[in-house]
Amino acid sequence: MTAVSDEQIRKAVDEEMLRRLASPEDKEVEQLDAWWRAGNYLTIGQIYLQGNPLLREPLAPQHIKPRLLGHWGTSPGLSLIYAHVSRLIRHTGQQAIYLAGPGHGGPALVAAGYLEGTYSEIYPHVSQDEAGMLRLFRQFSSPGGIPSHVSVTTPGSIHEGGELGYVLVHAFGAVMDNPDLLAVAVVGDGEAETGPLEGSWKGVSFLNPERDGAVLPILHLNGAKIAGPTVLSRKDPAEVRRLLEGHGYEVLEVEGSDLPGMHHRFAATLAGAWGRIRAIQHLARTGGWDGSRPRWPLIVLRSPKGWTGPEQVDGVRMAGTWRSHQVPLSGVRDNPEHLAILESWLRSYRPEELFDSTGAPTELVRGLAPEGDLRMSASLHANGGLLTRDLVLPDFRDYAVEVPRPARTRAESTRRLGELLRDVYRDNPDSFRLFCPDETNSNRLGAVFEVSDRAFAERVTADDVAISRDGRVMEVLSEHNCHGWLEGYTLTGRHGMFATYEAFAMVSASQTVQHGKWLQEASRLPWRAKVPSLNVLLTSTAWRNDHNGFSHQGPGLIQVVLTQRGDVARVYLPPDANCLLSVADHCLRSRSYINLIVIDKQPQLQWLSIDQAAEHCARGAGVWDWAGTDDGTSDPDIVLACAGDVVTMETVAAAQILKERLPGFKVRVVNVVDLMTLMRPKDHPHGMSGTLFTELFTDTVDVVFAFHGYPGAIHQLVHGRPDADRFRVRGFIEEGTTTTPFDMTVRNRASRYHLVMDAINNAKRLPRGAADLMAWCERKLAEHQAYVVEHLEDMPEVRDWALGE
């Protein structure tokens, strides 16, 4: 699609309304400017003041905070945009949320929420009066207060302003299946240097104007980051334009610092952008769309860093340079000249026009602000739990694998999940999406394509399969996009799952960490309603990356999730298809967790019937009587525990070997699905009681634990349990290569033979025949080793044997 024409805009939007929007009257400019000045004033107050908030008396050193923190440089730009978008909302009734990529401009967004009244509604002690304003100032970047950047505590935000790079992925995720929403996403020119941000412009290549809302990116070029210039700000503007046009946007530009000129030009540009968005949507929603990717508008705003701040300090240029990034005046308490500059700076905004005698914003300031839920700081979309509806979920039992007896059936477990997800798609046509880097089919989840194509807004050809502009399965070869889109989607109240190769989940590990931190923090804010969980399915696991080898063998994300607090962290290792179904059902119903589910996609032995699986998963861990030789009347000789599909198979095999070859030796097999049950109840809400732990693991018998991930994970989980030293863990110890699945277990010393030897070595009672069995195991391993070496050249033949199944 070429850019929309004026004619198309006129058909979509009331012409007179758009004209008024584009050309604010003098009164409106005055209101815009007042709002903007108020935002800037409150921003500076948060950075500097601990007294005299309304400047009712001359500014004195004791009014200044002892330690000056915060970021001024980006804030005036953020406030200007906020003011203008608010006016747009007021004129048009557009539902909008605001995402501040330069989130360190936190005081600007906090100021906006305060001016809109939302802040006081949520935090009544920060009232719209002089005392409240002082609290607003003092809490900022102070102990017990709020951080210096946009955070979970900021009303209207779904985007933490700490780790940079995700403003566009969050915005695109928010508008998917959200046709009436406009996400205004401000991209800072520092953030624009990050890989995740650069990789996220292409969100438009996956957006459907008929069914999805719109993202309006505003690239805010103010020239510098902490200590130097940014790449985009120093490139030829024509080059920047080409870059953004290359990403598929129609680029609208506003530049300058003149007033009121900038108000007029930004209003006109914003109106132009909005008109284009509405025209694109109108075409798509009234049958006038040719199906090609729309050329969505994007605004480049060039304004000085620290705009309206001091031009010079101590003879050095300040506004417009990197020196404005944080605190432009550093010596205010001790340097009378700096104090005077600060006072005249603050007074330049004429606070007496902005706040009335009580300290509340005046009518002039509030004149253009929207009301109720239309205020961006009060948008329900930014507190998505309020909009969350339960998914319509089929009965997971309907997708069960028939398992009359353990270890008789083989199945690709994730394929069953795919069938369940297909029906979740079908029954929730606007509130569920699967996000996956190009691997939906590879991960055996392809059944979803029976009811939904992949989403793709670029050209589709006859050779393509299951891909169209109307698709809702999200495939992009970028874990960052997948993860971030899902975050935006769930934070605005919808449900989803991110499925990816286990090893490459580390690509977006920092997003998992930061989203977990968001959920942890949100759980302590009563006004933040719970949102759908972030469900992460890891498949194509370490143990079954036979031909890909070492670089694809890494179960590291488990360690990462384990570091998070118990109120959000959940890790599940279903051993088979029916357990996976039960776990997935639970996760899709849950709220505000990070649910990590790990299971491989290859055909694997099935252990439990669906009813057994449901019961087993509800408990999270349990004894598999049928696998062991423990009669339950007394402590066994050894406990063989396992968590994870491949190691469960090895454990059951080891128990079988012991059963056959060491009669009288009592083996108990424990399978753990919910890893967090191993923790103490005081450390995690899923932690099993001491009594139950003892029932499973005894207090004194040694436990040989075969674990899917790095062994250290289990050591840290069982710490504090009775005699934790007795847990001998086998797991992935970074011994990987291109080899057979069975050889993987041998290399990592987690094979059935290793487990048998561990059992014998650690049993308190050494039964007759133990030494023979040890020797047998060593022989089996030596044979395996010899076979591997000898048959290096005939490797394909070794596979079946080495599978050892």
Region 489-528 residues binding a copy of itself, contact defined as CB under 8 A: 503-504, 506-507, 509-510, 513-514, 517-518, 520-521
Cβ nearer to a copy of itself, comparing 710 with 753: 710
Cβ nearer to a copy of itself, comparing 18 with 643: 643
Q: Which stretch binds a copy of itself (CB under 8 A): 116-124, 230-238, 350-358, 531-539?
A: 230-238
Angle at 482 between CA 479 and CA 485, to 5 degrees: 140
Helix 770-790 and helix 645-661, axial crossing angle in degrees, nearest 10: 130
Residues 546-605 touching a copy of itself, rule: CB under 8 A, are 546-552, 554, 556, 559-560, 562-565
475 binds a copy of itself (CB under 8 A): yes
Residues 711-740 touching a copy of itself, rule: CB under 8 A, are 711-713, 715-717, 719, 723-725, 729, 733-734, 737-740
Cβ-proximal residues to 62 (8 Å cutoff; 6+ apart), any chain: 51
Question: Using CB under 8 A, which of 12, 214, 240, 760 touches a copy of itself?
Answer: 240
Least distance CB 796 / a copy of itself (angstroms): 5
Least distance CB 629 / a copy of itself (angstroms): 28
Cβ nearer to a copy of itself, comparing 184 with 482: 482
Least distance CB 520 / a copy of itself (angstroms): 6
Least distance CB 99 / a copy of itself (angstroms): 15
Q: Which residue has the tokens 């007496």?
A: 352
794 binds a copy of itself (CB under 8 A): yes
C-beta separation of 409 from 473 below 8 A: no
Q: Which stretch binds a copy of itself (CB under 8 A): 113-121, 534-542, 757-765, 792-800?
A: 792-800
Least distance CB 591 / a copy of itself (angstroms): 19
C-beta separation of 55 from 359 below 8 A: no
Residues 644-703 touching a copy of itself, rule: CB under 8 A, are none
Cβ nearer to a copy of itself, comparing 229 with 394: 229
Give the span between the Cα atoms of 647 and 741, in whole angstroms.
11
Residues 131-150 touching a copy of itself, rule: CB under 8 A, are 134-135, 138-139, 141-149
E strands, 636-744, are 638-643, 667-672, 703-707, 727-730
Question: 577: buried, middle or exposed (CB in 10 Å: 19+, 13-18, 0-12)?
Answer: buried
130 binds a copy of itself (CB under 8 A): no
Question: Using CB under 8 A, which of 3, 11, 22, 50 touches a copy of itself?
Answer: 50
Cβ nearer to a copy of itself, comparing 85 with 298: 298
Least distance CB 293 / a copy of itself (angstroms): 8
Sign of CA dihedral 13, 17, 23, 29: negative
Cβ nearer to a copy of itself, comparing 257 with 716: 716
Q: By three-state DSSP, how is residue 491 classified?
A: helix
φ, ψ for residue 137, nearest 5 deg: -70, -45
Q: Which stretch binds a copy of itself (CB under 8 A): 383-391, 406-414, 472-480, 656-664?
A: 472-480
Least distance CB 771 / a copy of itself (angstroms): 24
208 binds a copy of itself (CB under 8 A): no
Q: Which residue has the tokens 């509806």?
A: 389
Residues 278-317 touching a copy of itself, rule: CB under 8 A, are 317
Question: Using CB under 8 A, which of 320, 496, 574, 636 touches a copy of itself?
Answer: 320
Q: By three-state DSSP, how is residue 488 classified?
A: helix
Cβ nearer to a copy of itself, comparing 7 with 725: 725
Residues 244-283 touching a copy of itself, rule: CB under 8 A, are 244-248
Give the span between the Cα atoms of 773 and 763, in whole angstroms.
14
Give the span between the Cα atoms of 262 and 81, in whole angstroms.
11
Per-residue x/- marks for a copy of itself, 695-714, CB under 8 A? Answer: ---------------xxxx-
459 binds a copy of itself (CB under 8 A): yes
Question: Using CB under 8 A, which of 3, 121, 194, 619 touches a copy of itself?
Answer: 194
* H or E stretch at 188: strand 181-188
Question: Using CB under 8 A, which of 25, 461, 526, 634 touches a copy of itself?
Answer: 461
Cβ nearer to a copy of itself, comparing 215 with 270: 215
Residues 420-449 touching a copy of itself, rule: CB under 8 A, are 438-442
Question: Using CB under 8 A, which of 478, 582, 606, 745 touches a copy of itself?
Answer: 478
Sign of CA dihedral 395, 396, 401, 405: negative
Cβ-proximal residues to 332 (8 Å cutoff; 6+ apart), any chain: 48, 61, 64, 68, 338, 339, 342
Cβ nearer to a copy of itself, comparing 76 with 165: 165
Give the span between the Cα atoms of 41 and 35, in whole angstroms.
10
CB neighbour burial string for 727-751, b if at least 16 within 10 angstroms, e if fewer? bbbbbbeebbeebbbbbbbbbbbbb
Cβ-proximal residues to 671 (8 Å cutoff; 6+ apart), any chain: 575, 607, 616, 621, 622, 624, 641, 642, 643, 648, 651
Q: Which residue has the tokens 């252990």?
A: 607
Per-residue x/- marks for a copy of itself, 80-119, CB under 8 A? Answer: ----------------------------------------
Cβ nearer to a copy of itself, comparing 148 with 541: 148
Give the span between the Cα atoms of 46 and 115, in whole angstroms.
14
The neighbouring-strand residues paired with 277 are: none
Give the span between the Cα atoms of 73 and 140, in whole angstroms.
16
CA distances from 559 to 493, 529, 569, 571 (A): 28, 28, 11, 10
